[in-house]
Amino acid sequence: MKLAELQRQFLEYLEIERGRSVKTVENYQRYLTKFLDYVKTDDPSKLTEDMVREFRLYLNRQPGTKVGGRMEPMKRKTQNYYLIALRAFLKYLRRRGVESLSPERIELAKVPERSLDLITPQELVRLLEAPDTTTPVGARDRAILDLLFSTGLRISELCSLNIDDLDLTRDEFSVRGKGDKIRVVFLSERAKQSIKAYLAKRKDLDEALFIQYGKNAKNASELRLSVRAVQRMMKQMAAKAGITRKVTPHVIRHSFATDLLQNGADLRSVQALLGHANIGTTQVYTHVTDKHLRDVHKRFHGKGGN
């Protein structure tokens, strides 16, 4: 069977059997197509380590983002996306009994440790207090911010919520996250009260939990608030709160995780609350929450007598 047909079947397998989102499948298609176009063979048995090595050199020389007027090469993290897709495809071929390159021969490029965009606890308080809750828009924005900090939701998860998804007589609800995995998240009392106050100001019958207002709502085919609209709102609230650094919904997710760890939560529990498939993803937060190391430094550093 030719590689093009195997690729098509692999993408169908990802969507139907593995339950990957349409966006994820589209990304895998783009990464694999670029590789197959580069190697110019349709025979899976002809794939070699040399082909992969040359493809990696090709990616490393592709333009990435412009920094200070100068075009930087493609980031290694981005290059790894192509290699991850290729490795998953080769694993699929092996399960199918198709002779090809071993997936274990694909090694990812080493990338710098991920840095976290964090705001201070004081900045977080100012951000949460920034919306004017006397207006429907302000009540909505306060509910969004409080819900994000209470649950650590991803922005896509937040925007897809419907009113019926939440039972405000309870402290928890289920959310469908990446890979269609369902997890339980928990509502703080503050978040519940903010959502109740927001819903009390709603006059519409739309099913979406968070909706647009003003001219955008009048021109929209549906009222549901978009990811982009939430990002714009947070930028405005950050400016109002006097926060100069970039603030995104993911920054609040970081604050949610670090707050839990700093107050004694274990890493496995935080992993489950965030919906991380791999605990290695969660471990990035330990670099900024290890109180023990901070205390050791304070107690013992610079005690030499000067």
Q: What is the 3-state secondary structure (H, E, C) of 158-175?
A: HHCCEHHHCCCCCCEEEE
Domain of residue 161: give its range: 121-293
129 and 61 belong to one structural domain: no
Tell me if 186 is assigned to some domain: yes
Question: What does the pLDDT read at residue 109?
Answer: 79
Question: What does the pLDDT read at residue 294?
Answer: 65
Least confident among 4-8, 86-90, 219-223, 238-242: 219-223
- CATH at 53: 1.10.150.130
Residue range 37-63: mean pLDDT, rounded: 93
Choose one of 70, 105, 140: the last residue of a domain.
105
Residue range 148-167: mean pLDDT, rounded: 94
143 and 286 belong to one structural domain: yes
140 and 280 belong to one structural domain: yes
147 and 236 belong to one structural domain: yes
Q: Kindly tell me the burial class for residue 98, based on how many C-beta atoms sit within 10 Å of its own C-beta (0-12, 13-18, 19 or more).
A: middle
Tell me if 116 is assigned to some domain: no
Answer for the pair 153, 146: CB distance below 8 angstroms, yes or no: no
Q: What is the mean pLDDT of the chain?
A: 88
Residue 70 — pLDDT band, cuts 50, 70, 90? confident
93 and 131 belong to one structural domain: no
242 and 190 belong to one structural domain: yes
In whole angstroms, what is the distance from residue 112 CA to residue 98 CA?
35
Percent of the chain surpassing pLDDT 70: 90
Question: What does the pLDDT read at residue 113?
Answer: 57
The answer to whether 285 is a known catalytic residue is yes
The token duo for 226 is 């978009």
The answer to whether 198 is a known catalytic residue is no
Given the residues 34, 178, 201, 240, select the one marked as catalytic: 178
Residue 179 — pLDDT band, cuts 50, 70, 90? confident
Given the residues 142, 224, 253, 254, select the one marked as catalytic: 253
The answer to whether 81 is a known catalytic residue is no
Question: What does the pLDDT read at residue 116?
Answer: 65
Residue range 31-58: mean pLDDT, rounded: 95
Tell me if 202 is assigned to some domain: yes
Chain position carrying tokens 């964090």:
118
137 and 99 belong to one structural domain: no
Tell me if 219 is assigned to some domain: yes
Tell me if 114 is assigned to some domain: no
The answer to whether 224 is a known catalytic residue is no
The answer to whether 250 is a known catalytic residue is yes
pLDDT digits (tens, 9 = 90+) for 261-271: 888 888 889 89
Q: What letters, b where the CB count within 10 A reaches 16 and e where it falls short, cover 120-136?
A: eeebbebbbebbebeeb
Chain position carrying tokens 């609040």:
252
Question: What does the pLDDT read at residue 34?
Answer: 96
Residue 304 — pLDDT band, cuts 50, 70, 90? low
How many structural domains are present in the chain? Answer: 2
Tell me if 41 is assigned to some domain: yes
88 and 184 belong to one structural domain: no
154 and 100 belong to one structural domain: no
Choose one of 105, 129, 157: the last residue of a domain.
105
Sign of CA dihedral 294, 295, 301, 306: positive
Given the residues 56, 140, 154, 192, select the one marked as catalytic: 154
pLDDT digits (tens, 9 = 90+) for 209-250: 999 998 767 666 679 999 999 999 999 999 999 998 889 998
Choose one of 50, 80, 105: the last residue of a domain.
105
- Residue 130 region by backbone torsions, left for phi larger than 0, else alpha for psi between -120 and 50, else beta: alpha
Tell me if 110 is assigned to some domain: no
- CATH at 215: 1.10.443.10
The answer to whether 23 is a known catalytic residue is no
Given the residues 140, 224, 254, 276, select the one marked as catalytic: 276
221 and 193 belong to one structural domain: yes
167 and 257 belong to one structural domain: yes
36 and 130 belong to one structural domain: no
Given the residues 196, 285, 297, 301, select the one marked as catalytic: 285
